[in-house]
């Protein structure tokens, strides 16, 4: 069951922080776990899942339901911001991660209890001959990808993508005029994910990433949830952004973007949401008569 709430509702917005450490219960609360203070290394410090190969790390701490915070350690908290997967690094300690190394990983628990990658039938951006995603053609793109290994600062809020899967449902011809696109092109649909996620982060307390450690967190994404309050579409919308969340206190944080048009769409859970529409022009000045 999904509960809808209007813009005039009384929901509290912003980041939801669980007040209890190391709890993972059936209702899908956030889980917090701490790693040891002498930790070491890895994660591409950008806002995306680093899909490079795994490398050896130090001892792994699998944060199950009984995990506890370790004194003097680095504290990590996995949570959902709407259906965005976020890990908070608490305590203000400066951490680093190695780029292009597979330093973060998100996996789903299968029916047999094993762990596997979330299904993603999209092409990667560095080798994309073109495909359809939810009815919109994603144009071809080719680049070197992530090919420079470095030791980057780890953000205090690590965005690891969405609790979604991308499933190929068929093929159809590429749009007319897309001469560089492979045809027929795959047709991919976005599907909401429900179940348990396992998040692995490899990190370092040193700026050279020469000592590695890893932390393993679990996060429950329930089937049921709510549709969050939504603001008006338009340029530089003041939000809120609508969309699905586990509860009203976990509705996604809204950060207005100047001169960006936000259109009203339906998300993968069927909830009204605001999404950036780059086809609309905000702040444009007519050059007529010039």
**What tens digit of pLDDT does each residue of 3-50 get?**
444 333 333 222 323 332 222 222 333 444 444 333 333 323 333 333
Residue 118 has pLDDT above 80, yes or no: yes
Q: What value does the mean pLDDT of the chain take?
A: 78
**pLDDT at residue 5 in the model:** 45
Q: Which pLDDT band, with edges at 50, 70 and 90, does 155 fall under?
A: very high
Q: Which residues pair with 265 in a beta bridge?
A: 273
| Average of per-residue pLDDT across 158-183 | 96
Q: What is the pLDDT of residues 49-78, one digit of tens each?
A: 333 333 344 444 444 432 323 324 678 999
**pLDDT at residue 100 in the model:** 87
Distance CA 186, CA 169 (A): 8
More confident residue, 24 or 175: 175
Q: Which two tokens stand for residue 54?
A: 């795994």
Q: Which residues pair with 3 in a beta bridge?
A: 226
- Locate the domains of the chain by residue range: 17-223
Q: Which of 81, 32, 23, 66 is nearest to 199 (CA)?
A: 32
More confident residue, 155 or 63: 155
**pLDDT at residue 256 in the model:** 84
Residue 2 has pLDDT above 80, yes or no: no
More confident residue, 230 or 30: 230
Q: pTM for this one?
A: 0.73
Distance CA 10, CA 223 (A): 24
| Average of per-residue pLDDT across 160-174 | 97
| Average of per-residue pLDDT across 70-97 | 83
Q: Tally the residues of the chain.
A: 290
Distance CA 217, CA 257 (A): 31
**pLDDT at residue 286 in the model:** 59
């Amino acid at each position: 069951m999904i509960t809808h709430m209007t813009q005039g509702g009384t929901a509290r917005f912003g980041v939801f922080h669980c007040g209890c450490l190391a709890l993972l219960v059936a209702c899908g609360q956030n889980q917090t776990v701490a790693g040891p203070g002498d930790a070491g290394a890895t994660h591409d410090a950008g806002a995306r899942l680093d899909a490079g190969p795994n490398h050896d790390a130090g001892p792994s701490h699998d944060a199950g339901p009984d995990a506890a915070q370790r004194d003097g350690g680095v504290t990590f908290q996995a949570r959902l911001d709407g259906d965005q997967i976020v890990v908070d690094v608490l305590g203000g300690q400066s951490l680093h991660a190695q780029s292009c190394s597979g330093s973060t990983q998100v996996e789903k628990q299968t029916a047999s209890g094993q762990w596997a990658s979330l299904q993603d039938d999209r092409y990667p951006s560095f080798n994309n001959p073109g495909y359809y995603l939810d009815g919109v053609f994603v144009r071809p793109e080719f680049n070197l990808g992530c090919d420079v290994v470095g030791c980057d600062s780890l953000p205090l809020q690590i965005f690891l993508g969405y609790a979604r899967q991308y499933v190929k449902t068929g093929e159809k011809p590429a749009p007319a005029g897309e001469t560089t696109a492979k045809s027929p092109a795959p047709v991919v649909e976005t599907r909401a994910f429900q179940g348990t996620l396992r998040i692995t982060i490899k990190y370092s307390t040193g700026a050279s990433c020469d000592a590695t450690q890893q932390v393993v967190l679990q996060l429950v994404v329930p089937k049921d949830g709510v549709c969050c309050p939504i603001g008006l579409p338009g340029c530089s919308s003041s939000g809120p952004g609508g969309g699905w969340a586990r509860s009203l206190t976990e509705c996604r944080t809204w950060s207005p973007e100047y001169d960006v048009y936000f259109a009203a769409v339906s998300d993968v859970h069927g909830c009204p949401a605001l999404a950036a529409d780059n086809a609309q022009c905000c702040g444009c000045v007519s050059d007529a008569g010039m």
